Amino acid sequence: MPAEDFAPIDTNWLESAGSLWTTPFADVPSERVIVDPIMLSHAAGVYKKSVEYFYGNPDEAVRMVCGACELYDITPVGHFLYADYWGADYGGELVTKAGAPPALKTRPIKTAEDVDAFRVLPPEELKDGPTFETHFKALDTVFNEYPQMFAPITQLGGVLEVATNWVSIDDVFMWMVTEPEVVDKLLTKAGDHMESACSCTAERYGANVMITGSVIASGDLLDREQIKRFGFDPVSKAIRKVLKAGAGPGVYLHLCGNHADDYDMWRTAPMSPFTVVQIGYDGKDIFPSAKHTEAFGDRAICLGCVDTKLVDRGTQMQVYEQAKSQVLAGKDSPSGYILGTSCECPTFAPPANVRAIVKAARDFGQYTKF
């Protein structure tokens, strides 16, 4: 779908959504809380395209995302990303799968001995690699065609996510037990890669938002001590390196999965004035916005979540009720609040459910703090 196949974005909507979006970041008053359900391949369904088509055509993908943002009345930002970034730049094989984002079939590091010799690509080499070729195609499309919906992001995940794009996750977990110092080295290299990748984006667009945090390093897989060693500590060092390299100022801490036992640790992660903290689950339950804003409201924008499982499989009313509960608890958080989902908007979620989150924000998300 070339650009001319897309209807223009309504400028009145764009102005209104931009105003809602600015509030949590700059304390400029607006009517209500904005919704960011991390719109990605769900947008493909809006245009009756497949997931493979979406990820195989990054320029068209972001046009679909921007169109879906207007359709649903959500954050006016053209996102493009998937989980298995960066493996292909180092020799891994990225393959497409029906109904799913691209995934790595082979990874560049095969043994613990390979870790020492593994060389992190400097920005001047990384920028011409396959990941940035795709990523910049998406971002350039937004920058040129939807400039008011542009945000220069770099998809990283935490250091463990970068590392598991280089080594199979089974090996990383085995080494955590048998050779933890090898994992430490690997994660330091993943942090160096984060600095390199963010520097590429910042160099191209003048600023950068790093999407990082802790996905694999969650309470479902690791205990608190392990999360500190293999998640919090190396991620914190990496964030600081990125900020020192001038490759910020955006920090998006995506604490995916269950963080009941470690969420408090992340309060002291390095933050910039533009830091968003998203926490998925508190055990098996959605992470309550009241607890979230109590812990982080004095220092970061809190992205309160609606359970993606509910968005995917629940009723419209269930989604609406959970979104209502979350937005009422979080909307006046001192450093800003966004209502979202615990991870990417499910590809095949009923549109009525996505819309229910927005409806709850409209019905109950009016600020009282201004």
Residues in contact with another protein by the rule CB under 8 A: 22, 25-28, 206-207, 228, 232-233, 236-237, 240, 243-246, 248-249, 264-265, 267-268, 270-275, 298-300, 335
Nearest distance, CB of residue 335 and another protein, angstroms: 6
Q: How far is the CB of 241 from another protein (least distance, A)?
A: 9
Answer for the pair 121, 89: CB distance below 8 angstroms, yes or no: yes
Shortest Å, Cβ 269 to another protein: 8
- Of 16 and 272, the one with the shorter C-beta distance to another protein is 272
CA distance 254 to 280: 8
Q: Which is nearer to another protein, 61 or 239 (CB)?
A: 239
Q: Which is nearer to another protein, 167 or 227 (CB)?
A: 227
Distances (CA, A) of 69 to 11, 39, 146, 210, 258: 13, 8, 12, 21, 28
Could you tell me the two tokens for 120?
């992190």
Closer of 22 and 366 to another protein (Cβ): 22
Tokens of residue 273, six digits:
């004035």
Pick 85 or 232: Cβ nearer another protein? 232
Q: How far is the CB of 132 from another protein (least distance, A)?
A: 21
Q: What is the nearest approach in angstroms of another protein to the Cβ of residue 97?
A: 38
How many CB atoms within 10 Å of residue 27?
A: 12
Q: Closest distance between another protein and the C-beta of residue 208, in Å?
A: 9
Smallest separation, CB 268 to another protein (Å) = 5
Q: What is the CA radius of gyration of the chain?
A: 19
Dihedral of alpha carbons 162, 299, 301, 132, sign: negative
Using a 10 angstrom Cβ sphere, with 0-12 exposed, 13-18 middle and 19 or more buried, the burial of residue 344 is buried
**Of the two residues 32 and 240, which places its CB atom closer to another protein in the complex?**
240
Q: In the complex with another protein, which residue's Cβ is closer, 141 or 236?
A: 236
CA 287 vs CA 160, 247, 278, 295: distances in Å:
22, 30, 9, 12
The beta strands (E) that lie in the chain are given as: 35-36, 93-97, 100-106, 153-155, 208-214, 249-258, 274-282, 285-286, 301-306, 337-341
